[in-house]
């Protein structure tokens, strides 16, 4: 297991982006933890976050020609990740989309480099998978090829069926979904920190009830 996965969980906890308690999910479930990437709110945190994205991308060995970030959360992520990759000798173009097409100036629905070749999508999480599906459609419409998705945390949680949203993306589009860390890494982190031990049984019980198999 890559060390950066545990480092990322520690970072998210310290930034209070990953919190423990009782939180209601969009599916109406009561989750013992909550991850909100919107709480990475300053330059230092964004830089470190995007360093983790770059590490996960390089470790995955996914072959790509450029990066794409879906509006809105994907915009700072794709820009920051491209900078971190360039610092490690991988200078690649990036772009992001507008929510509404611009009908003046340069026009169009995307900002940055033109979509071409193999495009790697950078997002925060996959919940219902709507953002990823819209991104894939946009990339294909431009004549490019979506080659994978990179997210911060994979909750490994069932959607409406037996599969998670991440597994559904893999099944429907045949592309890899890479995460910086997953629920397994979160459980491993809790097991190693006695001050958070009270949360371990609740997270494990939630995983037992709603989790998906890795198969």
Give the CATH number of domain 3-210; options: 3.40.50.620, 3.40.50.300, 3.90.650.10, 3.40.50.2020. Answer: 3.40.50.2020
pLDDT digits (tens, 9 = 90+) for 154-173: 999 988 789 998 999 999 99
The pLDDT value given to residue 101? 60
Give the span between the Cα atoms of 15 and 164, in whole angstroms. 26
Domain boundaries, the chain: 3-210
Question: Looking at 90, 99, 102, 156, which residue is catalytic?
Answer: 102
pLDDT digits (tens, 9 = 90+) for 55-109: 999 999 999 999 999 998 999 999 999 999 999 999 999 999 987 665 544 547 8
Q: What is the CA radius of gyration of the chain?
A: 17
Catalytic site includes residue 102: yes
Catalytic site includes residue 2: no
pLDDT digits (tens, 9 = 90+) for 129-144: 788 999 999 999 999 9
Phi, psi of 125 (to 5 degrees): -145, 170
pLDDT digits (tens, 9 = 90+) for 27-47: 788 999 999 999 999 999 999
Residue 5 backbone zone (phi > 0: left; psi -120 to 50: alpha; other: beta): alpha
Of residues 19, 35, 6, 11, the one with CA closest to residue 126: 35
pTM comes to 0.93
Of residues 68, 2, 81, 3, the one with CA closest to residue 37: 81
Question: Looking at 16, 26, 99, 104, which residue is catalytic?
Answer: 104
């Amino acid at each position: 297991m890559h060390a950066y996965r545990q480092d990322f969980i520690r970072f998210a906890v310290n930034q209070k982006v990953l919190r423990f308690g009782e939180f209601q999910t969009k599916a109406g479930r009561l989750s013992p933890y909550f991850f909100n990437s919107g709480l990475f709110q300053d330059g230092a945190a964004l830089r470190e976050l995007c360093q983790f994205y770059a590490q996960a991308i390089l470790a995955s060995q996914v072959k790509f020609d450029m990066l794409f970030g879906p509006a809105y959360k994907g915009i700072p992520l794709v820009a920051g990740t491209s900078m971190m990759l360039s610092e490690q000798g991988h200078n690649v173009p990036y772009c992001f989309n507008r929510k509404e097409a611009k009908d003046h100036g340069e026009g169009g629905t995307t900002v940055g480099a033109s979509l071409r070749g193999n495009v790697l999508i950078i997002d925060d999480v996959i919940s219902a998978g709507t953002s990823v599906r819209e991104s894939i459609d946009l990339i294909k419409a431009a004549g490019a090829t979506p080659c994978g998705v990179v997210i911060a945390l994979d909750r490994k949680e069932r959607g409406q069926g037996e599969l998670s949203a991440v597994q559904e993306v893999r099944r429907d589009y045949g592309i890899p979904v890479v995460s910086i860390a997953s629920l397994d890494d979160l459980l491993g982190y809790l097991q190693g920190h006695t001050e958070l031990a009270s949360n371990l049984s609740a997270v494990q019980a939630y995983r037992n009830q709603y989790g998906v198999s890795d198969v």
